[in-house]
Amino acid sequence: MAKLIELRSFSDKRGSLSVLEDFQIPFTIKRFFYIYDVDDSVRGGHRHQNTFQAAICIKGACKIYTNNGRGERLVFDLNTPARCLLLEPTDWHQMFDFNRGTILLVAASSNFDVNDYVFDKYEEDIV
């Protein structure tokens, strides 16, 4: 099930710093990617066989819809770099409503493998 975590953050007159440490992420990071310059498109639209992910909106804001196939359908608002969304492989997800200039950073537990992607949606009546 997708889980939102608040990152330890520190602010003073010089600016802000947010910290994501290994004990907060339940997987070893093998890949980073980032999504930016998004128009009004919806991104994602899949889940994974094996890959765990952690998403941080390091600039701007977007929303992420998740469905874990067991009745948990949630929308997370990533509107601060002090918040991280943890996604399990079973979390079918879509990213949408990107503000102009948004940069969404994603850490993944595996390298890219097209065979790891599952595009089929869960049945909406599963409870």
pLDDT tens-digit series, residues 92-119: 999 999 999 999 999 999 999 999 999 9
pLDDT at 99: 97
Tokens of 110: 């595996």
Distances (CA, A) of 64 to 13, 52, 77, 126: 31, 15, 7, 20
Is residue 126's pLDDT more than 60?
Answer: no
Q: How far apart are CA 33 and CA 37, in angstroms?
A: 14
For the stretch 51-98, pLDDT in tens is: 999 999 999 999 999 999 998 899 999 999 999 999 999 999 999 999
Written as one string, the DSSP assignment of 51-67 is --EEEEEEES-EEEEEE
Chain segment 27-50, per-residue pLDDT in tens: 999 999 999 999 999 999 999 999
Does the pLDDT value for residue 7 go beyond 90?
yes
